[in-house]
Amino acid sequence: MGVSIFGLAWRSLMNRKVSAFLTIFAIALSVALFLGVEKARNAAKSGFDNTISGTELIVGAPSGQINLLLYSVFRLGNATAEISWGAYEELNARDDVAWTVPISLGDSHRGYRVLGTNLGYFDHYKYGQGQSLLLAEGQEFDDLFDAVLGADVAKSLGYELDTPIVITHGLGARGFSDHDDRPFRVVGILRPTGTPVDQTIHISLEAMTAIHVGWETGTRNPLADGITEEMVRSFDLTPKTVTAAFVGLKNRATILRTRRAINTQMSQPLLAIIPGQALAELWQVMGTAERVLLAISAFVIAVGLVSILTSILTSLNERRREMSILRATGARPLHIFTLLVAEAAVLGFIGAILGAVLIQAIFAIAAPILSAQYGVALIGTGPGLVDLYTIGVVTIAAFILGIWPALTALRRSLADGLTVKL
């Protein structure tokens, strides 16, 4: 035959554009779903794993290690209890502890979490492969009402240095009430990290205490309006409680002993967790859901492949004359067989490629949204071996499925195709 089998298969598919397009579309959607689940799963793990490094322990009130990890590192959820300042100082004074960084959460600004801490946060908090926090502009907080913004906060809100901001009491875009009597000033903007730090507003622990003077009952006391900023600055602003503390050890080999001592021997009940172990437990909890999603995605691909089989089988009766003419013009049975399996392979190949392209477009749109809303960077979602393997497997599976309609076509005789049935 003068035309290649794949060229002939392509021309045949073009004569059935609508059914071919719908089949390719079904394959593309199924492949996109499978790759989306797989890439999102691995990317989320990588993003979470890279959020904190160089911190041996995280200490907070007993509330479960996953919950402690989520609210202290990822700013997801809330602490059910806090630890007293005395307990924090006791922790910081331990001989086996090299450094501690206290954090205080609870307030927000236009939906972004506000974190109270000390300057040690900028020295000791690390992410990725031990990368330190760096300033893109300005400096760390120095005055009581200074604020340092994460990169995404500054970008999304359009804030620059010296921009005044008002902290809201509570969480969400609209909290219970604004601390508008004690506004802050932006003095620094951090470089992007791809972690929840980018969605955080950092102030000092003393500032966190200062804005709550007159809020001791949880709501604003009308008498608080008479407390001026100068009066607040003269108060003892040492916090009474903190939400949690990041801990670095002098000797990493003592991590298990230190954790056990903190969990059992402190004056206040505390929970010390190892970030890596807490993440492993989190993935273990989510493991079943991941497997279910992958299984569903695999079945969706199977359904998409069956659509190829259905498309070719249902078209065979319409193509009886085409098959007979090909035989009459010199096509051998092997040519007919190869033509049909080639059509199936072409449909699977094009559908798989379009599915891989589609999921890349979806991630390009979704990644910035996920980073801005949840502080989770999707790492490693670009084209990779998993895309090639998926395209190859889908193409081979489509080729194999094409054998059935090909054998069915071969059983029909030349006379059957040329005979006009009334």
How would DSSP label each residue in 300-340? HHHHHHHHHHHHHHHHHTTTHHHHHHHHHTT--HHHHHHHH
pLDDT at 172 over 60: no
Closest listed residue to residue 168, CA positions, set 177, 156, 159: 177
CA dihedral 322, 327, 329, 334 (to 10 degrees): 110
Q: What is the mean pLDDT of residues 389-405?
A: 87
- Residue 342 or residue 208, greater confidence: 208
pLDDT at 341 over 50: yes
**If you average pLDDT over each of 188-202, 221-235, 292-306, which comes out highest?**
188-202
| pLDDT of res. 228 | 77
Query: β-pairing, 200-204 with 112-117?
Result: parallel
pLDDT at 93 over 80: yes
pLDDT at 328 over 70: no
Question: Can you say whether residue 15 is alpha, beta or left, with left for phi > 0 and alpha for psi between -120 and 50 degrees?
Answer: alpha
| pLDDT of res. 98 | 96
Residue with tokens 């990169």: 151
| pLDDT of res. 1 | 45
Closest listed residue to residue 208, CA positions, set 227, 190, 186, 184: 184
- Residue 330 or residue 74, greater confidence: 74
Closest listed residue to residue 304, CA positions, set 356, 342, 263, 347: 347
Alpha-carbon distance of 114 to 108, in angstroms, equals: 5
Alpha-carbon distance of 303 to 306, in angstroms, equals: 5
pLDDT at 4 over 90: no
pLDDT at 399 over 80: yes
Cβ burial, residue 332 (10 Å; 0-12/13-18/19+): exposed
Query: β-pairing, 146-149 with 184-190?
Result: parallel
In tens, the pLDDT along 26-77 reads: 889 889 988 888 887 777 777 777 888 889 999 999 988 999 999 999 888 8
Report residue 261's pLDDT band, with 50, 70 and 90 as the boundaries.
very high
Report residue 316's pLDDT band, with 50, 70 and 90 as the boundaries.
low
Lowest mean pLDDT among 69-73, 110-114, 129-133, 167-171: 167-171
Q: If you average pLDDT over every residue of the chain, what do you get?
A: 83
| pLDDT of res. 195 | 87
pLDDT at 319 over 90: no
Report residue 9's pLDDT band, with 50, 70 and 90 as the boundaries.
low
| pLDDT of res. 216 | 65
Alpha-carbon distance of 117 to 72, in angstroms, equals: 12
- Residue 418 or residue 52, greater confidence: 52
Lowest mean pLDDT among 221-235, 343-357, 372-386: 372-386
Report residue 299's pLDDT band, with 50, 70 and 90 as the boundaries.
confident
Q: Which long-range contacts (CB under 8 A, 24 or more apart) does 75-82 make?
A: 75/105, 75/113, 75/115, 75/196, 75/199, 75/200, 75/375, 76/374, 78/105, 78/106, 78/171, 79/105, 79/243, 79/244, 82/241, 82/242, 82/243
| pLDDT of res. 422 | 47
Alpha-carbon distance of 120 to 79, in angstroms, equals: 22
Q: What tokens were used for 356?
A: 């891989």
Its pTM surpasses 0.75? no
